[in-house]
Chains A and B, each alone.
Chain A
């Protein structure tokens, strides 16, 4: 069974700061997902990674398969980025995703 750990659990930053959220997992995977959950509860998929790096707007996600570690970066953070960011992994022959507890991000103006 995969264990997914995220850090930090809570992060408060000022608008414009560069944000990094980390995720580590214990067992080899086929893919890692970064998800965003807003206060209303809905979940939006940001990235799915199997290797390397992906960029979408101000968001960058990287993964190191050998080290079983991924990072999500937000450049030029904005108050609208305030949300819970969740790391989830797929693989090990399992259909369902295994989720981390999430990082609660608050960007202050």
Chain B
């Protein structure tokens, strides 16, 4: 069964460093998403991506964040200068079409980011 994969599973970095989280969405899916979950809190939407551009972003997704689809399979989230409060689990998801049209989202296993 096709699945969304994410690497690495755990990333430890120093405050101020850049990190890139990687995701491989399901191959025939067109919409890609990043979510984050700070420990003990609810999952929050960061950004959606379609047709090689950002479709929607939340207020959390500020200038330190960027997303890219560098090739036909990978979807990346870059955090330019990490802060302590960026420590969280980051989930990638993909769907066949836009979520507002009621399509199921498939989630990756997550990357746990720890900023020291």
Residues of A in contact with B (beta carbons under 8 Å apart): 30-31, 33, 35, 40-45, 48, 50, 86, 88, 90-102
Contact = CB atoms under 8 A, between A and B. Distances in A.
B100 A93 contact: yes
Given A40-B109, A42-B107, 8 more contacts: A41-B109, A48-B103, A90-B102, A91-B102, A95-B31, A95-B45, A97-B43, A98-B45
Interface of A is mostly: strand
Interface of B: 31, 33, 35, 37, 41-48, 55-56, 58, 89, 91, 98-107, 109-110, 112
A44 B35 CA distance: 14
Nearest to B101: A30
Contacts of B41: 101
Contacts of B47: 96
Contacts, number: 78
Contacts of B55: 95
A9 to B, nearest CB: 11
B45 A97 contact: yes
A42 B55 CA distance: 25
Contact of B56 (A50, A86, A96): A96
Contact of B102 (A30, A41, A45): A30
20 contacts: A35-B107, A41-B37, A41-B89, A42-B107, A42-B109, A48-B104, A86-B43, A90-B100, A91-B100, A91-B102, A94-B45, A94-B99, A94-B100, A96-B45, A96-B58, A96-B99, A98-B45, A100-B42, A101-B42, A102-B42
